[in-house]
């Protein structure tokens, strides 16, 4: 899990800024023209640009939530962030606290897309 957590640290929201494209999506919402924003990106830049969470469908999940692997038990995402940024000692302690590894709610190869993706398809 170490390399995965290193990647999470590098991709964690706050390292990158929304582009003009992300702000354009927010403008569409502001003008009442955005029905929904489907994204495959896990970086949460749409939300950072100001797009309402209700409008975003993160097909591959994102870093806005976290859970214990193999369960539906949610963990505060800030708790995961602190553990990841503390390094191996941090994420191992978090796993011990919650009875298993904790990961952001991103879709890994072979995992199902989030229910929200299927619930909102039309």
Residues annotated as catalytic are: 60
- DSSP-based three-state secondary structure for 21: helix
Instruction: Return left, alpha or beta for 87; rule: phi > 0 is left, psi -120 to 50 is alpha, else beta.
Output: left
Are 56 and 45 in contact by the 8 Å Cβ rule? The answer is no
Beta-carbon count within 10 A of 14 CB: 10
Q: Which residue spans within the chain are E strands per DSSP? A: 37-39, 56-58, 61-68, 74-75, 102-106
Tokens of 36: 């929904």
């Amino acid at each position: 899990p170490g390399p995965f957590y290193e990647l999470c640290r590098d991709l964690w929201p706050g390292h990158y800024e929304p582009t003009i494209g992300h702000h354009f999506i927010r403008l569409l919402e502001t003008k009442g023209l955005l029905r929904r924003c489907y994204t495959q990106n896990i970086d949460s830049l749409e939300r950072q640009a100001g797009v309402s969470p209700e409008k975003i469908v993160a097909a591959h999940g994102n870093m806005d939530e976290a859970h214990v692997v193999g369960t539906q038990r949610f963990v505060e995402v800030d708790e995961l962030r602190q553990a990841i940024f503390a390094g191996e000692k941090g994420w191992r302690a978090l796993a011990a606290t919650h009875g298993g590894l904790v990961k952001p709610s991103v879709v890994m190869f072979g995992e199902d897309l989030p229910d929200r993706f299927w619930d909102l398809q039309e």
